[in-house]
Structure 1
Amino acid sequence: MVGVGPWPGGEDAWPRVAGPGGEPVLDPRYDPELLAGGDTRNVVDAYRYWTVEAVVADMDRRRAQRPDVALFVAVKNWAHDLNIGSVVRTANAFNAAGVRIVGRRRWNRRGAMVTDRYLHVEHDPDVASIASWAAGEGLPLVGIDNVPGSRPLEGYALPARCVLLLGQESAGLSSEAQAACDVVLHVTQHGSTRSLNAAAAAAIAMWAWSSRAQDPGQTSAMRDA
């Protein structure tokens, strides 16, 4: 079985906190069904048995401790394939502040592996809308695509607060999207293929941002807890 079984020791050993009158009550972060039946979700050990709401709240709390750091990921709604779900799953892994779906509202969630439940996912009808939102939040719009005039991602000082804008799998960033970006970056390649899979390029870009902006000690603590 993937994950963990029921909480060791049974209900009498469930994690508790002091209630209003000082009596022990179940810690509200924990889900009684998961405690009783086991937790097979793909979550780090620190979040085992927690409710979805508690996990989201804790991730929000951790980001709030670093108001100078915030990553948003905006993706053009590719042709209903799994790439967009893969991007959402990676955004969750790096605790992105949010994902914004640009274009079609409906998207294929299979590749997200339920991680969209732990993220703030918003919708923008078009490029002009995401550009306006980013400007209003004071967030640079950073395009990711290997188009003429783009700059290498390697060595570029990604802002600690920014939006990564990812294009369509087949067509990449449109000319309108490129014009809306503060900068467009590409992942340098050394093989024969013209381009990386869009979800792979997104993962590399998010890792590059995280390696510069995030606290690696906090990340390791969450993974190992």
Structure 2
Amino acid sequence: MDEAGPTEWVVGEPVGVGPWPGPLPEDERYDPELLAEGDRRNVMDAYRYWRREAVVADLDERRHDFHVAIENFQHDHNIGTVVRTANAFTAKAVHIVGRRRWNRRGAMVTDRYQHVVHQPDVAALLAFAAEHELEIVAVDNTPGSVRLEETTLPRRCVLVFGHEGTGVSPETRDNADLLVSIAQFGSTRSINAGVAAGIVMHSWITSHADLSTAW
């Protein structure tokens, strides 16, 4: 069973905003309970008092053209971090490949706003990518990879990350349109999968995103 994640309502020191001051707005995007009690969620100010469904609908209008996939064959505990980062960069969706269950604690409830899809295996992910005309970008520091810092990621793609110890699966590597690695200068062979995902997503943002739409 998945570990219970943190509640969307922050416990402890008051954060966010209190009850809505003045006449209540009639916009259906607003949540009557939040207007009455205040909004203590970890959301951008532009989404204060909005219903969760309204936030998701607005994000759907702004999502970028990349997907993220992480192979969960060894119950990777970095998935929550990947989901949280994907939300920050408005990825189209996060695909959990392999085991359906994952530790949601690191997502900090961003999985309520980020589309998370389960793919039973790599073949299913590859079929999804082909159907939606998405290039597969495997991230792994193995022979044959090109440095992320020296290439431009395709706009429409799935960024695939493997387990921190073993990397992406051979099936993913063999079917990738592009294999990239992150330049490293220290003694360790690998970078934490959650950190690596953030680096690669930000590289996509640097190349393709309209920064005038950032918060």
TM normalised by structure 1 equals: 0.86
Alignment of 1:89-168 (within 5 A): 89-168=84-163
Q: Is 1:15–2:25 an aligned residue pair? A: yes
Aligned residues: percent identity?
A: 58
Rounded to whole Å, the distance in 2 between the matches of 1:70 and 1:199 is 20
Q: Is 1:216 matched with 2:214?
A: no
User: 1:78, 1:115 → 2: CA distance?
Assistant: 22
Tell me how far 1:168 sits from its aligned partner: 1.1
Aligned counterpart in structure 2 of residue 4 of structure 1, from 13, 17, 26: 17
User: What is the deviation of 1:8?
Assistant: 2.2
- Structure 1 counterpart of 2:198, one-letter code: A
Partner Cα distance (1:81, 1:174) in 2: 14
Gaps in structure 1 of 5+ consecutive residues: 17-26, 64-68
Match of 1:87 in 2: 82
Count, aligned residues: 202
CA displacement at 1:81 relative to structure 2: 4.5
| 8 A contact 1:78–1:84 mirrored in 2 | no
Q: Closer, same or farther in 2 for the Cα pair 1:53/1:186, shift >3 Å?
A: same
TM-score by length of 2: 0.90
2:188 equivalent in structure 1: 193
- Which structure has the larger Rg over C-alpha atoms? 1
Q: 1:32 matched to which residue of 2?
A: 32
Give the counterpart letter for 1:56 in structure 2: V
SS at match of 2:149: coil
Deviation (angstroms), 1:78: 5.4
* Stretches (4+) displaced over 4 A: none
Aligned residue in 1 for 2:6: none
Counterpart residue type for residue 80 of structure 2: G
Q: CA RMSD in A?
A: 1.3
Alpha carbons 1:31, 1:51 under 8 Å: kept: yes
